[in-house]
Amino acid sequence: MTNPYAPPRAAVLDIVDSQDANVAADRGTRLGASILDGIILAGMVSVPLLLASILAGVGRQSGKDNTGAILAVFSVVASSGFIVWCWLTIKYVKDNGQSIAKKLLGIKVVRADGSPAGLGRIFWLRNFVNGLLGVIPLYGFIEVLFIFGESRQCLHDKLADTIVIKA
């Protein structure tokens, strides 16, 4: 029999600290995502252009000079591949802070406090500003060495106040 005068009871779940929920992505997965993103971009853009060059060269050697048509077709394919790559990358980064490869490998970019990192922050601070700094000799090599620090943040992460975590 329940006591009608007893105080109400409620099941309360423990509150999870957002910092504890964010498990840093391991260095190997981050490296793999970077390499995979490069392979994906190359497959969608550079491979069609390479095939066009090869086919144009074969066409010239065989006496059929249809180089213009071959280059036009493969340029359209490469341009289409680039547009699809841009669309997918922007969609995934906007939705969840992930590039195509980060999505495939189950990691994502968030702010250092665990809040979502916006498309602007990721594009401008992590990519654009970092790309401008890339003109400094050895910058690219040195900036990735920061990943071996305790926080596992490359210099572009520190610039944008972001971390890469398991999704």
At residue 110, φ and ψ (nearest 5 deg) are: -135, 170
How far is the first Cα of the chain from the last one, in angstroms, to the nearest whole number?
A: 47
CA 57, chain centre distance (Å):
35
Helices 67-96, 47-61: inter-axial angle, 10-degree rounding: 170
Q: Which two tokens stand for residue 62?
A: 């065989």
Bigger pLDDT: 68 vs 166: 166
CB 25 within 8 A of CB 157: no
The model's pLDDT over 21-69, given as tens digits with 9 standing for 90+, comes to: 789 999 999 999 999 999 999 999 999 888 888 887 777 777 777 778 8
Strand-strand pairing, 162-166 and 107-111: antiparallel
What is the tally of helices (H) and strands (E) in the chain? 9, 2
pLDDT at residue number 96: 95
Q: Rounded distance, CA 109 to CA 114, Å?
A: 9
* pTM of this structure: 0.78
